[in-house]
Amino acid sequence: MHLCARPLATTELDHELLWLSVSVSSVSLAGAWLAVGLPWPVCVFHQLTGLPCLTCGMTRCAIQFFHGHFLAALKWNPLIFALLCGVIAFDVYALLVLATRTPRFRIAFRQVEKRCVRGMIILALALNWIYLIAHWRDF
């Protein structure tokens, strides 16, 4: 894995601006959706099987997270909690980089490292699903 800081090339996609915009827009849209009282998303997998899917508890986790109830958010869905923490950290980084016009961080992976990262992601998904199945009565 190689981490480098470099200025944004003229033809390069501005990932910081793009993903900051996507995350802020998504949170705003979700907040407006719930504030207006529109129906919550329904988990078809849970309705059909009675078991939680990989993302069951995601909406409740996000609501608890953004209300500042971090322990409750962690209990609803640990993987989504970690993802939300990562998105907040990235958004702070992106906002600072965009405001100060400093060089952007980029990560380059070798093939072996890519396979290792994929394996860790699959393991994290599996462990999270095991946690959710062990606590399925909470859903």
Domain of 131 in residue numbering reads as 111-139
Q: Given this model, what pLDDT does residue 46 score? A: 85
pLDDT band at 139 (very low <50, low <70, confident <90, very high): low
Cα 135 from Cα 76, distance rounded (Å): 9
pLDDT value of position 86: 97
pLDDT on residue 43 = 84
**pLDDT, tens digit, for every residue of 6-63?**
898 889 899 999 999 999 999 999 989 988 999 988 888 888 988 888 888 898 899 9
Region 85-104: what's the mean pLDDT? 96
Residues 30 and 96 occupy one common structural domain: yes
In a domain, 47, yes or no: no
Give the DSSP H or E segment for 85.
helix 78-100
The mean per-residue pLDDT over the stretch 108-133 comes to 94
Q: Are residues 78 and 32 in the same domain?
A: yes
Same domain membership, residue 115 and residue 138: yes
Do residues 68 and 125 share a domain? no
Neighbouring C-beta atoms of residue 60, cutoff 10 Å: 18
Mean pLDDT value across the chain: 92
117, 73: one domain? no
For the chain, the straight-line distance linking the first and the last C-alpha, in angstroms and rounded, comes to 39
Greater confidence, 96 or 59? 96
**Could you tell me if 54 and 131 are in contact, meaning their C-beta atoms sit under 8 angstroms apart?**
no
- pLDDT at residue 113 tops 90: yes
Amino acid 85 reads C
Tell me: pLDDT of 138 over 70: no
